Structure 1
Amino acid sequence: MRKRIVATALLGVLAMAGSAAAQDKLRLALVPKAMNNPFFDLARDGCYKAQEEIEGIECVYIGPGEHTELEQIQIVQDLISQGVDGIAVSPSNAPAMAKALEVAKEAGIPVMTWDADLLEEDKDIRATFVGTKNYDIGVNLAKLAQARHPDGGKICLQTGGAAAANHNERLLGIRETLSGEKLGDPPGEPLTGQNGWTEVSGCPLITDDDGNKAVQGLTDILAKEQDLTAFISTGAFTQWYDNAYRQAVEPYKDKLTSGEMSIFVADTLPMQMEQLKDGLSNGQVGQRPFEMGYKSMEVLKALVEGKDVEDPIYTGLDVCTPENADTCLAQ
């Protein structure tokens, strides 16, 4: 009996020790725009990999089930109330998120952005940004279009949330590169013939990061604009649902092959690369979400420890075409 009592007591001590050890870990939150998003799944994987490899941290990956601006802000407010040790967020609504992060900063919680940043006037709230130079995504998408269509033509742009700073920066990169002009603040004004490029009526298409809405928008505009030259999407949402995307684009495959029309999309997720190889897109400009998730944990830990960090921290791009599709992601 005494042995059983001692053993039970020992188990209790060990459990308490394990709990204390868990509490000693820094709880670092990675907040995506939505958790039903394959792009953010890769960032989650990077976050959990960092948890395995970086001593003393716990990755708290949490965000809205679907792309909902208000829910994302509520989640950040809840994390502040819980007293997490650091918060990295990809803002859906940059101005609104800035107000929430201001509260976190006042509470002594280090905050940073990843994937999408705050507006220029609010950037002093966060310590740094980890992710893509979003303007450059637009530049590279536009260069792909210029290479296929040097004389320009009719174009439709598709984007995420209207208030998402990252997508607006990509739109500006596309428009300034195609027009050869400076167009002011993101997202810039629609093209009206500069260098031969004209944005068709009804575009840019706003998707709110909704894959179904994105495919429907693509389907509708291709049917409406029979002489469309180029379709450019600033996010992977257009191609998330593989079967739906293929059904939408298959009728136009001959045009994509001949060069009569082109489709260029941001990101290089696995299904997107297969679509590219199958001739259902003409170019992809990819980010590195796994690295974003991993790096965000490194940076938050450094901030908690009072260390200086660079601002911004860019994670690079991969530019993929049918010609280099088998090797571009290794660059």
Structure 2
Amino acid sequence: MSRIRGGRAVALAMLAALTLAVTGCATEEPAPTATGGQPAASGGAGTMKEGLKIAFLPKQVNNPYFDASDNKGGKVAVEEFKGVYSQTGPSEASPSAQVSYINTLSQQGTDVIVVSANDKDAICGALNEARQAGAKVITYDSDTNPTCRDLFINQASAEGIAASQIKLISEAVGPDGGEIAILSATANATNQNAWIEMMKTELAKPENSKLKLVDTVYGDDDDQKSFQEAQGLLAKHPDLKGIISPTTVGVAAAARYLSGSEYKGKVQLTGLGTPNQMRAFVKDDTVKSFALWNPSDLGYLAAYTGGALASGMITGKEGDKFTAGKLGEYTVGKDGTVLLGDPFVFTKDNIDDFDF
């Protein structure tokens, strides 16, 4: 749940951040360099091909997080390099539902499919069929098995997110520590599971010995279910001191529950959320701090990466360099990953500086 461009210098550099756990890259022969394209938009050879059809397939549509990443980030990038943008996907976070959309995009001759996976393996067959049909596959936010995609846009390292989340809940709970719980998204979400495992590693460190993880529950990125799961945690664990919800839907739902309950101020909450979702809860002291990368930057980077790959400007191998418009130069890392940046923490002091 950060590199921001908007005139606020302090946050600009940092907000490019937070994100997932992933690995892997399947290298394919680069497409021939297009002629007659726009001037080179990359540090690599060649030019960005015009008219590329780039489709974003989020975990679910009508989700504020993916609206920011796709429509306010990816769309802007695609329009900059004169491609054709679209967003499509299920209304509920379901792996099986994503398969049919992948098949349709492949049949439509989509050049680049940018997908946030609801399950790392369930959509692999459909994605590989799309790749065989000529599409480049870029994962973002939540990765697939590396054999199913070309590159992964990692909003932040799993280690970075986990360390940030444990640090924030520790600071919020205070030096005496106590019982904490995790309210996650879906049980199969690649990114969520990677972060949770890394959080357990962080909790095993001596400096975090006073924090005890007593439960992990799943709200399926559904507002009402996440609200009920937060309520259930407090009923089940009356001594609970803190909740970590590393999902934008979950953290907002948990904050809504706590803000109107007897637990406000007694049970601390942090997670990954957007400023617009969390502003009221930070200002009324339900939440002291939370973190996120800039989702619009994530979508923007994903679009430029897909465009560069589909244009033959990069092949996807480790060490490939390209320029992602206003975000600057990026390098393909190990296992076909491109890292957006580092975690950014939002508090009452800075939350009004951001609007997304």
TM-score interval (norm. to shorter): 0.7 to 0.9
- The Cα shift of 1:206 comes to 1.0
Contact preservation (8 Å) 1:138, 1:234: no
Amino acid at match of 1:235: T
What is the CA–CA distance in structure 1 between the aligned matches of 2:125 and 2:175, rounded to whole Å? 44
User: What SS does the corresponding residue of 1:91 show, helix, strand or coil?
Assistant: coil
Equivalent in the alignment of 1:223? 235
Q: CA 1:253–1:278 in 2, change beyond 3 Å: closer, same or farther?
A: farther
- The Cα shift of 1:290 comes to 0.6
Pick one of 130, 143, 149 that aligns with 2:153: 130
Contact preservation (8 Å) 2:57, 2:114: yes
Amino acid at match of 1:315: L
Q: Which aligned pairs between 1:76-91 and structure 2 lie closer than 5 A?
A: 76-91=102-117
Cα deviation 1:149-171 (Å, max 9, x = unaligned):
33431111111111111011111
What is the CA–CA distance in structure 1 between the aligned matches of 2:78 and 2:308, rounded to whole Å? 14
Given the alignment of the two structures, is residue 53 of structure 1 paired with residue 80 of structure 2, yes or no?
Answer: yes
Pick one of 129, 133, 137 that aligns with 1:103: 129
Q: Which has the higher helix share?
A: 1
Q: Which aligned pairs between 1:13-24 and structure 2 lie closer than 5 A?
A: none
TM-score (norm 2): 0.73
- The Cα shift of 1:86 comes to 1.1
Q: CA 1:134–1:37 in 2, change beyond 3 Å: closer, same or farther?
A: farther
What is the CA–CA distance in structure 1 between the aligned matches of 2:104 and 2:91, rounded to whole Å? 15
What is the CA–CA distance in structure 2 between the aligned matches of 1:85 and 1:228, rounded to whole Å? 49
What is the CA–CA distance in structure 2 between the aligned matches of 1:99 and 1:291, rounded to whole Å? 29
What is the CA–CA distance in structure 1 between the aligned matches of 2:120 and 2:262, rounded to whole Å? 36
Given the alignment of the two structures, is residue 141 of structure 1 paired with residue 147 of structure 2, yes or no?
Answer: no
Equivalent in the alignment of 1:12? none
Equivalent in the alignment of 1:9? none
Given the alignment of the two structures, is residue 171 of structure 1 paired with residue 183 of structure 2, yes or no?
Answer: no
Show structure 2 runs of 5+ residues with no match.
Answer: 1-49, 315-319, 321-331
Cα deviation 1:280-309 (Å, max 9, x = unaligned):
112211122111222222111111111225
Pick one of 185, 192, 196 that aligns with 2:210: 196
What is the CA–CA distance in structure 1 between the aligned matches of 2:224 and 2:103, rounded to whole Å? 29
User: What SS does the corresponding residue of 1:94 show, helix, strand or coil?
Assistant: coil
Structure whose alpha-carbon radius of gyration is higher: 1
Cα deviation 1:181-234 (Å, max 9, x = unaligned):
8xxxxxxxxxxxx8133333xx31111111110011111222332221111101
Amino acid at match of 1:45: K
Given the alignment of the two structures, is residue 74 of structure 1 paired with residue 88 of structure 2, yes or no?
Answer: no
Amino acid at match of 1:161: T
Given the alignment of the two structures, is residue 302 of structure 1 paired with residue 329 of structure 2, yes or no?
Answer: no
User: What SS does the corresponding residue of 2:85 show, helix, strand or coil?
Assistant: strand
User: What SS does the corresponding residue of 2:261 show, helix, strand or coil?
Assistant: helix
Contact preservation (8 Å) 1:253, 1:280: no
Q: What is the count of residue pairs matched by the alignment?
A: 282
Cα deviation 1:22-54 (Å, max 9, x = unaligned):
xx7211111100002110010122122123322
User: What SS does the corresponding residue of 2:240 show, helix, strand or coil?
Assistant: coil
Amino acid at match of 2:310: V
What is the CA–CA distance in structure 2 between the aligned matches of 1:34 and 1:45, rounded to whole Å? 16
Pairwise CA RMSD: 2.3
Equivalent in the alignment of 1:38? 64
What is the CA–CA distance in structure 1 between the aligned matches of 2:280 and 2:259, rounded to whole Å? 14
Pick one of 265, 272, 291 that aligns with 2:271: 265
Equivalent in the alignment of 2:281? 275
What is the CA–CA distance in structure 1 between the aligned matches of 2:276 and 2:128, rounded to whole Å? 37
Equivalent in the alignment of 1:250? 260
Same amino acid, percent of matched pairs: 28
What is the CA–CA distance in structure 2 between the aligned matches of 1:69 and 1:198, rounded to whole Å? 32
User: What SS does the corresponding residue of 1:251 show, helix, strand or coil?
Assistant: coil
User: What SS does the corresponding residue of 2:179 show, helix, strand or coil?
Assistant: strand
Contact preservation (8 Å) 1:28, 1:87: yes
Cα deviation 1:76-107 (Å, max 9, x = unaligned):
11111221111110000111122222222222
Show structure 1 runs of 5+ residues with no match.
Answer: 1-23, 182-193
Which one is further off, 154-163 or 171-180? 171-180
Equivalent in the alignment of 1:115? 141
